[in-house]
């Protein structure tokens, strides 16, 4: 049997790494499995029977860890690897006892040994983008948790935030305390009840009942029509009407006030027109029409607004989930916080 592992311990904590290598040694010694492992940890390389040191796609040396170390006359495998790098890069080794930090760093050697690296990494590469997209697609298909959060989670959040956050003010319950009880007051009440923004409830009989029903939340708005309302309206006057609004929700209360003010002004204008007065007082009027979303429905504006919010939330949630899954499964394939460069 052959087992091939590509950097299986990258990003894993030291305790989990030691436990992993105990399993690897048991597979090799007890079950006779041939294992190929790529790693950049020298202490892990020392556990192997044979190793191949590679740089810039070329094999520098291949032998047992002890033989490679002895061939360079070094005490540690790390020093032997650096010596092989210096030889491959054409850098003369320094005298014995010289601090290696005073010479070129290993990072410089690696960069020098990869000709054209800067040219290859610069600029946009469509092939690299497609390969990364294919890789991420495969990983998403293999991780149902992340796939579910990315697709179902986005859909659920869009539905909840789009339909759950409703700014529309409709079907506001109201009742009328009518002291006039005239035809004009009845028409005034019917004018308000005919609007889709209001729903009429049983009439009020007293101020005490008005206060009790407003406190209990059964009414959003209460209207008190004073005595002589119809008489003043017939004489061309502008009678005053008292309106109580539930202001516990400021936006809802403000919109209700605007609605009832508009209905009140429209009712008075209609009464003045029927009486043959009031037309000459307004030589010009302003007609406002909304070009987009004429019904002012919050759903039309809320759903597009949710999309950029999801673009902020979902990647952060996927990153957090990737870290948790990496800790749970011990696989670097589920750690997506490292930028692809």
Of 202 and 233, the structure prediction assigns the larger pLDDT to 202
Domain locations in the chain as residue ranges? 2-121, 126-167+298-341, 172-296
Give the architecture (CATH level 2) of 2-121.
3-Layer(aba) Sandwich (3.40)
Q: What is the model's pTM?
A: 0.46
Of 209 and 280, the structure prediction assigns the larger pLDDT to 209
**Domain 172-296 fold:** abc type-2 transporter like fold (3.40.1710)
What is the pLDDT, as a whole number, of residue 223?
92
Q: Are 77 and 65 in contact (CB under 8 A)?
A: yes
Query: Mind listing the pLDDT tens digit for each residue in 16-66?
Result: 888 888 888 888 888 888 989 888 788 888 888 899 888 877 888 888 988
What is the pLDDT, as a whole number, of residue 5?
86
Burial of 59 (0-12, 13-18, 19+ CB in 10 A): exposed
For the beta carbon of residue 306, count every other beta carbon within 10 angstroms.
18
Q: Are 77 and 42 in contact (CB under 8 A)?
A: yes
Which long-range contacts does 9-18 make (Cβ < 8 Å, 24+ apart)?
Answer: 9/39, 9/41, 9/44, 10/40, 10/332, 11/326, 11/332, 11/335, 12/330, 12/332, 16/330, 17/44
Query: Mind listing the pLDDT tens digit for each residue in 132-178?
Result: 888 878 877 877 888 888 888 888 888 888 777 777 777 889 999 99
pLDDT band at 337 (very low <50, low <70, confident <90, very high): very low
What is the pLDDT, as a whole number, of residue 224?
92
CA distances from 318 to 40, 143, 226, 323, 333 (A): 28, 12, 62, 9, 13
Q: For the stretch 30-50, what's the b/e string if a residue is b when 16 or more beta carbons lie within 10 angstroms of its beta carbon?
A: eeeeeeebebeeeebbeebee
The radius of gyration computed from the CA coordinates of the chain, to the nearest angstrom, equals 40
Distance CA 224, CA 192 (A): 13
**What is the distance, to the nearest Å, from the Cα of residue 176 to the centroid of all Cα atoms in its chain?**
47
Query: Mind listing the pLDDT tens digit for each residue in 58-112?
Result: 888 888 988 988 988 888 888 888 888 888 876 555 554 444 454 445 555 445 5
Strand-pair category, 198-200 with 221-225: unpaired
> Does pLDDT of 2 surpass 60?
yes
Helix (H) or strand (E) holding 254: helix 250-274
What is the pLDDT, as a whole number, of residue 54?
86
Burial of 198 (0-12, 13-18, 19+ CB in 10 A): buried
């Amino acid at each position: 049997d052959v087992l091939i592992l590509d950097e299986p311990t990258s990003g894993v904590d030291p305790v989990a790494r030691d436990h992993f290598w105990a399993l690897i040694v048991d597979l090799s010694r007890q079950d006779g499995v041939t294992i190929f492992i790529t790693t950049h940890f020298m202490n892990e390389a020392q556990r192997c029977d044979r190793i191949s040191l590679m740089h810039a796609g070329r094999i520098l040396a291949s032998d047992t860890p002890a033989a490679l170390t002895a061939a360079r006359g070094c005490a540690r495998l790390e020093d032997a690897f650096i010596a092989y790098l210096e030889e491959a890069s054409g850098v003369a080794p320094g005298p014995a006892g010289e601090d290696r930090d005073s010479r070129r760093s290993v990072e410089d050697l690696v960069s020098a040994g990869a000709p054209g690296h800067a040219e290859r990494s610069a600029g946009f590469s469509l092939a690299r983008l497609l390969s990364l997209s294919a890789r991420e697609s495969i990983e998403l298909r293999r991780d149902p948790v992340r796939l579910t959060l990315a697709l179902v989670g986005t859909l659920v959040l869009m539905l909840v935030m789009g339909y759950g956050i409703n700014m529309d003010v409709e079907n506001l319950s109201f009742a009328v305390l009518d002291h006039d009880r005239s035809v004009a007051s009845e028409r005034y009440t019917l004018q308000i009840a005919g609007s889709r923004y209001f729903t009429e409830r049983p009439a009020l009989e007293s101020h005490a009942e008005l206060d009790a029903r407003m406190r209990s939340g059964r009414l959003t708005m209460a209207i008190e029509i004073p005595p002589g309302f119809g008489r003043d309206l017939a004489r061309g006057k502008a009678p005053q009407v008292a309106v109580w609004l539930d202001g516990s929700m400021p936006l809802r209360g403000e919109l209700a006030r605007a609605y009832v003010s508009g209905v009140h002004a429209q009712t008075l204008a209609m009464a003045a027109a029927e009486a043959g007065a009031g037309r000459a007082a307004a030589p010009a009027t302003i007609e406002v029409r909304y070009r987009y979303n004429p019904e002012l429905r919050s759903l039309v504006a809320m759903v597009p607004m949710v999309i950029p919010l999801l673009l902020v939330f979902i990647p952060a949630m996927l990153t957090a989930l990737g870290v948790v899954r990496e800790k749970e499964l011990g696989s670097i394939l589920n750690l997506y916080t490292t930028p692809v460069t």
